[in-house]
Amino acid sequence: MRPSLRQLEYAVSVADAGHFGRAARACHVTQPALSSQIGALEEDLGVRLFERSRRGTTLTPVGRWVVARARAVLAGVDELVEVAGGSREPLSGPLHLGVIPTVAPYLLPRWLPLVRRAHPELVLYLHEDQTAKLVAALAEGRLDVLLLALPIARRDVETRPIFREPFLLAAPRDHRLARGRGGVRQQELDGEPVLLLEDGHCLRDQALDVCRRAGARESEQVRATSLTTLVQMVAGGLGVTLLPASAVAAEIRGREVTVRPFRAPAPSREIGLAWRRTSARAEEFALLGDLLRRHTPKSRR
């Protein structure tokens, strides 16, 4: 027998909660009712999905596969409803957008009002996280589209570049690299301790690439969780860092930090959208990318 959508929803809820009681409360049903549906699902499939103990519930190996497929099925059903409901007007109805932390606070305040004016029927849900977690959520169908740094090394993901933004050097005001006019040559970073974000941030990987080319080294004193912390540490004299151009105005204001551009070829990153290649809303996401690109200064494209 085919499992019902309700059974799949219950299985995903138990996997997320790690406990039958918490899953039942999340689904607004009694625990016996939820347990009965999970038991029927396991019987119909002929496999055991969960290992139960006093401490909680864990997925069996086949249970992990079944729950992953259940997420995809439920996401497909949700997408079917959304696309059907929004078929009269593109970019309407609910949309779950994932954004990386080094983009969200700097670009969304400028872009979201534009999107709301152009598509007032769109109901946007924002999810901020690191790249790997966002891409995993996209593949599982928990997110519809991502705004992040490209490229994405997955064949099942389609992307739409929006603009390329340069990195700038941020240094304490009394630092040797804070002096002078014009751009900084990357080679001037040779031997310099560079403050970077912690593991998981794509900006860290991009900055490390610049460091390797320039002969710089990562500072062992700081691994920050945000650009704000990085800039504060720069102001404290612990080293220099690289900032995306979009973050400079917000992060440097009022701090003892000097920002200088790099000479060509300046290090940079490409910002764009990414979505599942199989998504029924692919044309809408391309439309969204085009809208954001049109409202990006030509000097940044």
In the predicted structure, residue 301 carries a pLDDT above the cut 60 = no
CA 47 to mean position of chain CA atoms = 34
d(C-alpha 90, C-alpha 284), whole Å: 6
List strand residue ranges (DSSP E) for 151-191, in order.
157-172
d(CA 274, CA 149): 9
The residue assigned the tokens 């389609």 is 158
Measure CA 160 to chain center: 15
Model pLDDT, residue 126: 96
What fold is seen in the domain 89-163+270-300? D-Maltodextrin-Binding Protein; domain 2 (3.40.190)
Collect all residues with Cβ–Cβ distance below 8 Å to 149 and sequence separation of at least 6.
100, 102, 103, 131, 202, 203, 206, 269, 270, 271
CATH top-level class of 5-82: mainly alpha
Q: Please, is 91 exposed, middle or buried when counting C-beta atoms within 10 Å of its C-beta (0-12, 13-18, 19+)? A: buried
Q: What pLDDT, on a 0 to 100 scale, did the predictor assign at position 49?
A: 94
The answer to whether domain 165-268 has CATH 3.40.190.10 is yes
Q: Please compute the mean of the pLDDT values over residues 97-108 and round it to a whole number.
A: 95
| Residue 89 in this model has a pLDDT that exceeds 80 | no
User: Domain ranges in the chain?
Assistant: 5-82, 89-163+270-300, 165-268
pLDDT at residue 85 greater than cutoff 70: no
Are residues 223 and 203 in contact, defined by beta-carbon separation less than 8 angstroms? no
| pLDDT on residue 90 | 83
Cβ contact 144:214 at 8 Å:
no
pLDDT-based confidence at residue 92 (cuts at 50, 70, 90):
confident
* Distance separating alpha carbons of residues 274 and 189, to the nearest angstrom: 33
User: Which range is least confidently modeled, 85-89, 121-125, 162-166?
Assistant: 85-89
CB 255 within 8 A of CB 171: no
pLDDT tens digits, 12-62:
999 999 999 999 999 999 999 999 999 999 999 999 999 988 777 999 999
Of 18, 23, 17, 21, the closest CA to residue 6 belongs to 23
Establish whether domains 5-82 and 165-268 are of one fold: no
CB 79 within 8 A of CB 279: yes
Check residue 54 and give its pLDDT.
Answer: 76
Q: What is the average pLDDT value for the chain, to the nearest integer?
A: 90
Residue 265 pLDDT level (bands cut at 50, 70, 90): confident
Over residues 76-101, mean pLDDT? 80
Calpha distance 292→96 (Å, rounded) = 17
CA atoms of 84 and 87, how far apart (whole Å) = 5
Looking at residue 254, what is its pLDDT?
Answer: 86
Q: How confident is the model at residue 87 (pLDDT cuts 50, 70, 90)?
A: low
pLDDT in tens, 206-263: 998 999 888 998 888 778 889 999 999 999 999 999 999 999 999 998 889 999 999 9
CA dist., res. 242 & res. 230, Å (int): 9
User: Radius of gyration of the chain from Cα atoms?
Assistant: 23
Of 83 and 273, more confident: 273
* Predicted confidence (pLDDT) per residue in 140-186, tens digit: 888 999 999 999 988 899 999 999 999 999 999 999 999 877 899 99
Contact 192, 217 (CB under 8 A): yes
> pTM of this prediction?
0.75
